[in-house]
Every structure is written in C-alpha cells, then in structure tokens.
C-alpha cells in the first residue's frame, strides 16, 4: 500500500488543511501516519489516519531563553523519534503544513531521504516553513505574493485546502441580498474581544440590521437584543455564510479563503499580533482590488465600524460577490495531491 506521513497541527490553521489533503489521499488508497503534538488541536479532533502519533513538543518562537532551549530540545528529540518511525515504515513522501509541529517530520524526512512537500497557508511564511523549504521538493502556497519568500522554481499556487462541507456548499452558492440586512461577525478561533464589544454596541444602535456574532472564548456582556445572536463557536459555518450579506472577520487564511469561496464582501480586522503581521497581508491584495474593507485594530471603534458598514451596504454587493468568487480556489487539496503524484510519474 502507498504510504504518506503528514504533519500540521497545534492550531486549526495548520490542522484543517492537513486534514483536507489527508482525506483526499485516503480516497486514493494511501495509508496515512499523522504526526502532531499532545498540546494542540489534534489531541481533541479526529484525523483520517491509520496511525496518529502525538509527541509533547514545545514551540520556540516568542518564548524566554529557557523556553527556547526547552523548545529546541523537544523538537530535536521528536525529530529523532520520527526518523526512527520513518525508517521503520518507509513512506513514499511526507507533507508538512507549517507550525513548529512540522519541524520534526520535515527534518526527519530530509535526513531519511524521503521526498518532502510543504504547504504555506499565510501570505508571509512561518519560520518553520522557511527552514523546511530548503529541503522540500515543492512548496505549495495559498497567496501569489508568498512566492517572493521561496525559491520560485519550487512554488506552486494551490490555494488553501478547506473543509469539504464548506467547499461543497460554496461551489454552487450564488449570493442574493436578504430581506433583512444580515452581518456575520467572526473573531477567529480565539475570538476578538474589541471586535465583539464593538459589534454588540453597534447592534444596539443599528436595529434594522441583524447581527450574528461568533465571540470565541471572550466573556463579554451580551444585552438582550432582538437583532443580535451570539455564539461562542459553531461547526456549521457554511449555514452562517449563506445567511449573511456582509462578513466582519479576522483575516486568518482559512477565514479569508472561506469568504472568497462564498463570494462575500468583508470588512477585515486583522489580528495585530500575528507573526510578521501576516493577517494584514493576507487581505491587503484584496483591498487593493477594491473587493473588501480593511480596518486595523488600532483604528477600530464603534464609530469607524458603523461608517464602514453603512458605506458597504451602499455598494452593489451582488456584483461584487461575483468578482470576489473569481479569486476562490475550490480544489486546493486536489491540486496538491495531483502535483505530488505527477512528480512520481515523471521520476
């Protein structure tokens, strides 16, 4: 049986694209070994792997000197363990989806001379993917501008692999304005306190608009308003996207690409502490095309959000939706798998 090692976890931004590609490979008859960390989302979520191995890895970036030393030691120790696993199982290739959890599999694959592929979700690559790109056969990217950070001969624009239920729903979806203006506000996997508070304050003033707020982990005071529905987290994002006229959102890669697939005009408020400010650059290109709004968190207030929202509802959202959807890539997982399999056909 054909065999592949996959790594990508810690957070949903790395985990879900790995899961999407794994499902595709599984359908093609591959046996999958998944490498992750006991500290990440993968310890709580199912993954379509024949074998799921979780190690107690630690991050390095953003830690104290002692924390960095501990992180480096844990990654090198895990690399040795993964190398032994690779020599035992002899995979045809490995795929890494970024984050510190990918480093052991990437390095072990290089040492064991197993073909390595990586996928970069964000506009500005992580340190882990910058390192692993030197050993990778190909680097799959989500945004065109990311090619500037890698060897262009290796890079392939594939887009962002998304969950099946999102893609299947978005493919045939065509936006039509709803009877009641509806705004979906998404704070990302961790939520966004300032954005949530601004939305709640706005809902109390703009009572002609229906607001759906996904607040994440933050404990914010929620008044009893008829036009405001608040969730901490939802699994059926596709239902909320289809019900919304406008989306207000953080700009992590998954959120941006889901919004593109549904053709939603969005007001993006990038997370200001994202590594290398990548959330800002994830959407700056879209703003430059006139296909979204962009508010930096330092400029965010109820007044700014209200004015931006009023201006947005004066736009031809139906026409803009068609233009936005032109930039969506619906078959990212298939593009990645095809590129890899074609390499083996040509070797």
pLDDT band at 188 (very low <50, low <70, confident <90, very high): low
User: What does the pLDDT look like over 97-132, one tens digit per residue?
Assistant: 988 889 999 999 999 999 999 999 999 998 899 999
User: What does the pLDDT look like over 241-291, one tens digit per residue?
Assistant: 999 999 999 999 999 999 999 999 999 999 988 888 999 999 999 999 999
Domains, the chain, in order of start with CATH, read 3-160+330-346 (3.40.50.2000), 166-325 (3.40.50.2000)
**25-46 average pLDDT score:** 91
C-alpha 312/C-alpha 303 separation (Å) is 14
pLDDT band at 338 (very low <50, low <70, confident <90, very high): very high
Residue 42 has pLDDT above 60, yes or no: yes
Check residue 39 and give its pLDDT: 83
* Percentage of the chain exceeding pLDDT 70: 95
């Amino acid at each position: 049986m054909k065999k592949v090692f996959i790594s990508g976890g810690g957070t949903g931004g790395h985990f879900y694209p790995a899961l999407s590609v794994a499902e595709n490979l599984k359908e093609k008859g591959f046996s999958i070994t998944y490498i992750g960390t006991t500290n990440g989302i993968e310890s709580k979520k199912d993954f379509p792997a024949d074998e799921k191995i979780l190690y107690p890895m630690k991050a390095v970036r953003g830690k104290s000197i002692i924390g960095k030393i501990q992180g480096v030691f844990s990654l090198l120790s895990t690399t040795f363990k993964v190398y032994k696993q690779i020599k035992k199982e002899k995979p045809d290739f490995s795929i890494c989806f970024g984050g510190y959890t990918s480093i052991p599999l990437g390095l072990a694959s290089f040492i064991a001379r197993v073909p390595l592929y990586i996928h970069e979700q964000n506009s500005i690559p992580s340190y882990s993917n910058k390192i692993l790109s030197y050993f990778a056969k190909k680097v799959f990217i989500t945004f065109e501008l990311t090619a500037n950070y890698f060897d262009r001969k290796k890079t392939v624009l594939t887009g962002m692999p998304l969950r099946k239920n999102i893609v299947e729903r978005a493919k045939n979806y065509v936006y039509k304005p709803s009877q009641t203006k509806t705004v979906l506000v998404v704070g990302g996997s961790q939520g966004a306190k300032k954005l949530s508070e601004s939305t709640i304050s706005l809902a109390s003033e703009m009572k002609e608009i229906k607001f759906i707020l996904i607040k994440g982990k933050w404990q914010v005071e929620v008044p009893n308003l008829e036009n405001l529905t608040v969730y901490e987290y939802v699994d059926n994002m596709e239902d909320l996207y289809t019900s919304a006229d406008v989306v207000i959102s953080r700009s992590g890669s998954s959120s941006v690409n889901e919004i593109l697939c549904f053709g939603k005009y969005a007001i993006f408020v990038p997370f200001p502490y994202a590594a290398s400010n990548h959330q800002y650059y994830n959407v700056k290109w879209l703003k430059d095309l006139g296909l979204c709004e962009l508010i930096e968190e330092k400029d965010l207030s109820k007044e700014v959000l209200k004015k931006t929202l009023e201006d947005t509802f004066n736009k031809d959202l139906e026409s803009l939706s068609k233009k936005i959807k032109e930039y969506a890539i619906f078959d990212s997982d298939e593009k990645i798998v095809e590129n890899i399999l074609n390499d083996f056909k040509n070797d």
